[in-house]
Structure 1
Amino acid sequence: MKNDPLFEPLTLGALTLPNRIVMPPMTRSRASQPGDEANDLMAAYYAQRASAGLIVSEGTYISPLAKGYAWTPGIHTQAQIDGWRKVTTAVHEAGGRIFAQLWHVGRLSHTSLLGGEQPVSSSALQAKGVNVFIASADGSNVPGFVQASAPRALSTAEIAEVVGQYRDAARNAMLAGFDGVELHAANGYLVNQFIDSGANNRTDEYGGSLENRLRFLDEVTRALIDGTGDAQRVGIRLAPLTTLNGCVDADPETTYIAAAKLLGEIGVAYIHIAEADWDDAPHMPVEFKQRIRQAYSGTLIYAGKYTADRAREAIAAGWADLIAFGRPFVANPDLPQRLQSGADLATHHRETLFGGGAQGLTDYPALTGTND
């Protein structure tokens, strides 16, 4: 189609994106062991998808206590930095652009993933009924899901240390060759555990009032800007209405409009909104999206079961600038080409999403029948 909104270029800081299609972060649990390092297989996977306007890497944990799922990559050791450099080099050589999603899961972890240590959070509130993926759920070396362990609350001194770990992770991402970083502040992970009232019962400067609950987001965002050296290399992922992993806010519209306004004042490159996308999930009204646009003048990315037509409508309406397509990118390495031509989309194999090797990661064919 002529004048297709999905294929108009967009300027994002120093980058020119050739289209409005984003590959969002998706955990695939293929990091090399025992060091949780990105590897050649992951480099091939991301390079296959370099035709996206922007790739955001899978969640990448920033410190040993930030880890929450087996075989996920980190970015706090030299070997991990070197592993990610393989990925960024491959993506850039294929003509792509890639941000690192920086991840601290907080309470959504298990002692077996943390060397026996207890997970940390804003508060000592367990995410009951929430499972995390570990390498051996029953002692048989068969991976599986188990109940997240009970956390302890971070002290104010420890909060400052975590903020510093985010700063270091941003610096490491730049050393690894990423074009920028995205803060995972959504889906019930650590930053979200401070923001949402139902997960934060602190009585100090990080809890209670909305201003206090947004303080950690503020401090971490500024640390990432310091670490990258440029606010236009920093994006933030938020999930205003999702109740994933036990995080619920009493007044999400007020909370997340305030978060968007704060991030606009700081001057980050983009906000990435994860809409709830499961059956019977809470609906995010267009009026809410329009209020976010009014509060934040930067680039807005939306993700959540978008079709090509819904994506075009969102961009044309003005409340979205970029649209992220998650699951479709798993099985369609050349997704932009397929969306532009109207070609059928392949379906991913659910059983190969987490862990394993090339099967279900790099063996999905492009329209040409190859993955070259």
Structure 2
Amino acid sequence: MTDPISSDLLFAPTRIGALDLPSRIVMAPLTRSRAAEGNVPAPLAIDYYRQRASAALIITEATQISQQGQGYAWTPGIHTQAQIEGWAKVADAVHQEGGRIAMQLWHVGRVSHTVFQPGGARPVAPTAMPVPAKAFIPGENGQGIYADIPDPQELTIAGIQMIVADYVQAARNAITAGLDAVEIHAANGYLLDQFLNSGSNWRTDRYGGSVENRARLLLEVVDAVSAAIGSQRVGLRLSPMGKSFGMDEADPEALFHHVIAELNKRELAYLHLVEPTVKGREIATEIDPRAQALMRDIRASFSGPIILAGGYTRWNAEQALADGRGDLIAFGRPFIANPDLPERLRLDAPLNQGDPASFFGGDARGYTDYPTLAELAERELTA
């Protein structure tokens, strides 16, 4: 282990919305597919999140706002009383350790399967078209399997209005459970991103066509959730120029210039941006000039705090903060294997390596059994 390094940008306190944070180190949302029956956070989730409470802010795994919003096996929801009670135990555990936790609110839209949908219906989408993706569903042997996604059904106006109401109720439920904030998931090819994207939204009504119309649902959700719990407890995740699940926006500059201009009027707690270097589960080594220019424009146009996510290490995270490209950095996979990640980053200590085979589904192995530096030191003393 080396001496602590001199730069302290990652460890400077800051404020986002209603929350004072002790550092700039955010735990990114990480789907782990370990929810219990009824999509309730399992008891192990209490330990999992408690262990990682030294993050300046934990953003929970994506959490479905309704049964219709589910697209992956064993993911938690926030739309039943049992789910609210399960998340309350998680929030309480994090708060007991001095941490802060925001819930990521999720509707997958077309990236789903009939096994999850009420009454076995087809998944919903802005437009009925084939989906170039697979759904992760429960297999007969209790293991997750990947299955073809059925062609979705196009949402009606009444169906869209119901989804807005579901976001509002989910946000209220999260606050009732004791979480500190919510993050609206509008990235990575899920429902709100599907409405934004010209490659997946071919509607001809007020929710399709122009960038103003395609952004309408996102802004309606943001406004309704903000009215319900206060904009200073609402964050938003976007993935400019993302390609997940068939996203292919023809004019990302026009789209995101409009979206950011509108968001900038709404005094949100933060904007969470997935860097264009993120390609599914991989991180590209280079970012193209067009994407760089768009990210610079977003930084210049949005006056609130920005969280960046994109496979960061300690060193390039410090550089991103020093360059002013973002105000906080979200770390994903490193938090899976390193519950004490902030301390390891502060000391420039070696990181535990994660086990990809245990990322999705399973038990405590690869979930709550990764050792902290203190635990490793104790093992050495007793060996």
Q: State the TM-score, normalizing by the size of structure 2.
A: 0.93
Question: What secondary structure, in the 3-state scheme, does the structure 2 residue paired with 1:38 have?
Answer: coil
Q: How do 1:152-191 and structure 2 match up within 5 A?
A: 152-191=153-192
Partner of 2:89 in structure 1? 86
2:215 counterpart residue number: 214
2:317 is the alignment partner of 1:314: no
Deviates more, 1:153-162 or 1:108-117: 108-117
CA contact under 8 A between 1:48 and 1:371: conserved in structure 2?
no
Moved more, 115-124 or 169-178: 115-124
CA distance in 2, matches of 1:316, 1:150: 46
Percent identity over the alignment is 49
CA–CA distance in structure 2, aligned partners of residues 106 and 371 of structure 1: 46
CA gap 1:133/1:371 in 2 versus in 1, 3 angstroms: farther
Q: Which residue does the alignment assign to 1:361? A: 367
Which of these residues, 298, 305, 323, is aligned with residue 304 of structure 2?
298
- Tell me, yes or no, if the aligned pair for 1:107 and 1:126 is still in contact at 8 Å: no
Give the counterpart letter for 2:190 in structure 1. Answer: Y
Describe how 1:47-196 pairs up with structure 2 within 5 A.
47-114=50-117, 115-128=119-132, 130-136=133-139, 139-196=140-197
Aligned residues between the structures: 367
Structure-2 residue corresponding to 1:237:
237
Residue 19 of structure 1: aligned partner: 23
Indicate if the aligned counterparts of 1:29 and 1:71 stay in contact, CA closer than 8 A. yes
The answer to whether the 8 Å contact 2:18/2:269 transfers is: no
Deviations 1:231-269 (A, max 9, x none): 010000000122011111011132122212211112211
User: Residue 123 of structure 1 aligns to a residue in which SS?
Assistant: coil
CA distance, structure 2, for counterparts of residue 221 and residue 62 of structure 1: 14
2:336 is aligned with 1:336: no
Q: Secondary structure at the match of 1:302?
A: strand
Aligned amino acid, residue 26 of structure 1: L
Secondary structure, aligned partner of 2:264: helix
Q: Which residue of 1 aligns with 2:261?
A: 261
Query: Secondary structure of the equivalent of 2:306?
Result: strand
Counterpart code for 1:361? Y
Secondary structure, aligned partner of 1:198:
coil
How large is the Cα RMSD of the aligned pairs?
A: 1.6
Asked if 1 retains the 8 angstrom alpha-carbon contact of 2:188 and 2:239, the reply is yes
- Equivalent pair of 1:333/1:365 in contact (CA under 8 Å): yes
1:23 to 1:280, Cα distance in 2 relative to 1, 3 A: closer
Tell me how far apart the structure 2 counterparts of residues 17 and 101 of structure 1 sit (CA, whole Å). Answer: 18
- Where 1:294 maps in the other structure, the secondary structure is helix
For residues 256 and 358 of structure 1, the distance between their equivalents in structure 2, rounded to whole angstroms, comes to 41
User: What amino acid sits opposite 1:202 in the alignment?
Assistant: R
1:124: how far off?
Answer: 0.5
Counterparts of 1:158 and 1:30, CA distance in 2? 29
Where 2:85 maps in the other structure, the secondary structure is: helix
In the TM superposition, what whole-angstrom CA distance separates every residue of 1:119-173 from its partner, at most 9, and x where no partner exists?
A: 0011102212x1121111xx44432111222111111111111100000000000
Distance in 1, matches of 2:375 and 2:204, equals 58
- Give the match's secondary structure for 1:66: coil
Counterpart residue identity of residue 182, structure 2: V
Using a 3 Å threshold, how does the CA distance of structure 1 residues 344 and 181 change in structure 2: closer, same or farther? same
Output the amino acid matched with 1:249: E
Residues 286-339 of structure 1 deviation map (CA, whole Å, 9 limit, x = unaligned): 432221122110010110111111111111111200001101000000000011
Query: Unaligned 5+ residue runs, structure 1?
Result: none
Aligned partners of 2:308 and 2:361: how far apart in 1? 27
CA deviation after TM superposition for structure 1 residue 103, in Å: 0.2
1:279 deviates by 5.3
Separation (CA, whole Å) in 1 of partners of 2:129 and 2:376 = 48
Is 1:224 the counterpart of 2:228? The answer is: no
Tell whether the 8 Å contact from 1:120 to 1:152 is kept in structure 2 after alignment: yes
Gaps of 5+ in 2: 379-383
CA distance 1:166–1:112, shift in 2 (3 Å): same
- Shift of the 134–340 alpha-carbon distance from structure 1 to 2, 3 Å rule, reads same
- Distance in 2 (CA, whole Å) between partners of 1:344 and 1:370 is 11
Does the 8 Å CA contact 2:17/2:268 hold for their aligned counterparts?
Answer: no
